[in-house]
Structure 1
């Protein structure tokens, strides 16, 4: 990595995680394309602040267990830090640094007045009782409270956390600020305490907005197009639903149990009802069982990977038949696979735009909290469409001008905005 030659490998281990290195690889390629100022590039390769905190929690059996938590504030040039908090047994500082870097570039490319951050606790939340999870959240909030706030750093839910987690976070912060409600400290809250309408389906809807535009620039239409969706959780199920409502033939969907296929198209509302009853997509009447791996290779117009990272890599990239890939998940296509598929004429709408609906509506929630004035769901959806398509169009323009792929163009667009702002603000103290 440029500028890293003299680092102590142990002291700087958090900068050598695979997620962060993957992001930096794309960053370096994009920075070269736009001839980014080398001093700005050097600053953007490092997080501004990394917090590691101990979180003692009294468990239900009255023992005290100490967990490790993190909050990485990567860059705040464009506005307050913004990024989720995840509870997962694999969370470590290196992963959180990588995620914080990606949030910085995502918020920049989306045109939001926000910086990038991420947080997490190394814990398996499924093994905690409700009381233990609440105790964990409240103590974590207290440990990082001096560094967060409506004008400083605004967390949100991520893997293993939810609106209830954000409610506990908000209440703890509010109590420590004198007991006055501070809804703007987090987003992703329940609507009853300052959450935004439209937040629940925002990521899935954003994926479909981007898919529509990607089809359009490739001389296709959503209506009648064949679409496959990997992952049928919050993002994938809503993406499939909105695509179906727009006349697409959703030929395949999948979840952890496997996938289902029907070349004539699945009735997505009926699939959703089936999942509510059985818990999984498998066994849906009138469909053929397929694996998640087979779904990725289905012959279709658009593939929407909305499950986990690294689903398309060098081993299966050559077998992807979809003309367009819209990344609903974070990093479902590796950098190496991207290069292979671009050479094969595939159009990839990268995750920093495609799954940006969640953070866009989180931004809307924060704005509504500050104003104490809330919008109806139709307004939220319309504003989401305006922001995400403006971002897509700016990246597509960069792609055309520089003759590069969409992933590199997205990063180049993000860096360009950050570079201009950082040059205008200058270096403190000089």
Structure 2
């Protein structure tokens, strides 16, 4: 099952059946509430004129306004955006965030745009996005977007409305109403979840052998936190490939080199490993923190980790999930493990509404309590109903969404 939206619907219906969710609610959740498909135009610096496909999906807003990321990637598809919108509906619900699931983006290679061009399409995206606003639909950042794009989007929204409204856009820098701790939130949340899961599965993290696929913002953050508590991060990778050292890599040193622009395959003095080989290394903990569908029916039987914690969205296909379950390898699903960014976006919203901004200690304290609470609720249901953590997390989320849908009289 390679179609990411079909995979998302498969997870929805399997969890719905196991959790005895109202079939009408499942039918409602089998399609987005609203899909926007529009064009974004750009006058290039060289005089060329481009028209790009843009999408925004408001999947379900029973629990609150739809919120989450905006991708600027060349291979973006509507099915991908719909799947991610459903994932965000579940992620917000299981994490106790009063928000619905949304996702959007532009089919463009952001790395090939100048700052002026990037600003132009960011502002155009907001101008063309309808409806929008803090009580309706709130775009955040994702692949190809970040502090710059979100600042431009906020400014465009405020120029249009004439109202100061930092809560209209998520993932902004603190200088324009964002929150401290947002850049590290996803990686830190994965670290908190990894500690909980390791305890429940009797894995001692001090000295544990860890493999991390993906050494961007998320992968590097979680690798560094684990390195600091004594874990041996034996292999990491980026888009170019990976490196391995059974004695443990110097993560802070690697992070400095990567931040300076180095690709892992170009670093001298390391044993090279492909991204595919890296996933099959013998280790205590595997964290796929790169892209979707990397653990699939073709390689799942060769996974040797004792525990898998999903740092990326959708890194494990449904077929692979079943194989890993049969092998007795627990998987902590993305909707719980990488919810730190979504949770801290909620904190950003609270601070924007109240104009009361927190320090990093307050953000991290609240994040730890909320994300470990989501893990505990999912773990308890998994034990009670004898479910995988993925199915139990979806069951917890679906029960919350279902209650809101039914109370609103939608089904």
Q: Is 1:402 aligned to 2:385, yes or no? A: yes
The residue matched to 1:157 in structure 2 has which SS?
A: coil
Give the counterpart of 2:19 among 34, 38, 43. Answer: 34
Give the counterpart of 2:83 among 83, 90, 98. Answer: 98
Give the counterpart of 1:86 among 46, 71, 84. Answer: 71
Distance 1:276 1:128, change over 3 A: closer
Task: Return the offset for 1:277.
Answer: 4.6
Tell me how far apart the structure 2 counterparts of residues 249 and 417 of structure 1 sit (CA, whole Å): 38
Tell me how far apart the structure 1 counterparts of residues 234 and 357 of structure 2 sit (CA, whole Å): 38
Distance 1:412 1:258, change over 3 A: same
Q: Partner of 2:151 in structure 1?
A: 167
Tell me how far apart the structure 2 counterparts of residues 237 and 347 of structure 1 sit (CA, whole Å): 23
Q: Partner of 1:4 in structure 2?
A: none
Task: State the TM-score, normalized to the length of structure 2.
Answer: 0.96
Q: Partner of 1:117 in structure 2?
A: 102
Distance 1:62 1:293, change over 3 A: closer
Q: How does 1:370-389 map to 2 (within 5 A)?
A: 370-389=353-372
Q: Is 1:326 aligned to 2:309, yes or no? A: yes
Q: How does 1:25-424 map to 2 (within 5 A)?
A: 25-144=10-129, 146-178=130-162, 180-277=163-260, 279-282=262-265, 287-424=270-407
Distance 1:372 1:58, change over 3 A: same
Task: State the TM-score, normalized to the length of structure 1.
Answer: 0.92
Task: Return the offset for 1:272.
Answer: 1.6
The residue matched to 1:147 in structure 2 has which SS?
A: coil
**Is 1:228–1:304's contact at 8 Å kept on the other side of the alignment?**
yes
**Is 1:226–1:250's contact at 8 Å kept on the other side of the alignment?**
yes
Task: Return the offset for 1:312.
Answer: 1.1
| Aligned length in residues | 411
For residues 25-56 of structure 1, the C-alpha deviation after alignment (integer angstroms, 9 at most, x for no partner) is: 11111111121112111111121111112223
Unaligned runs of 5+ in 2: none
For residues 338-372 of structure 1, the C-alpha deviation after alignment (integer angstroms, 9 at most, x for no partner) is: 10011101010001111111111111111111111
Task: Return the offset for 1:221.
Answer: 2.5
Tell me how far apart the structure 1 counterparts of residues 43 and 145 of structure 2 sit (CA, whole Å): 20
For residues 314-344 of structure 1, the C-alpha deviation after alignment (integer angstroms, 9 at most, x for no partner) is: 1111111111000001111111011001110
Runs of 4+ that moved beyond 6 A: none
**Is 1:271–1:284's contact at 8 Å kept on the other side of the alignment?**
no
Tell me how far apart the structure 2 counterparts of residues 90 and 335 of structure 1 sit (CA, whole Å): 22
**Is 2:67–2:102's contact at 8 Å kept on the other side of the alignment?**
yes
The residue matched to 1:294 in structure 2 has which SS?
A: helix
Distance 1:174 1:23, change over 3 A: same
The residue matched to 1:86 in structure 2 has which SS?
A: strand
Tell me how far apart the structure 2 counterparts of residues 337 and 288 of structure 1 sit (CA, whole Å): 28
Tell me how far apart the structure 2 counterparts of residues 331 and 105 of structure 1 sit (CA, whole Å): 13
The residue matched to 2:406 in structure 1 has which SS?
A: helix
For residues 155-203 of structure 1, the C-alpha deviation after alignment (integer angstroms, 9 at most, x for no partner) is: 101111111111111001101112x322111111111111111111111
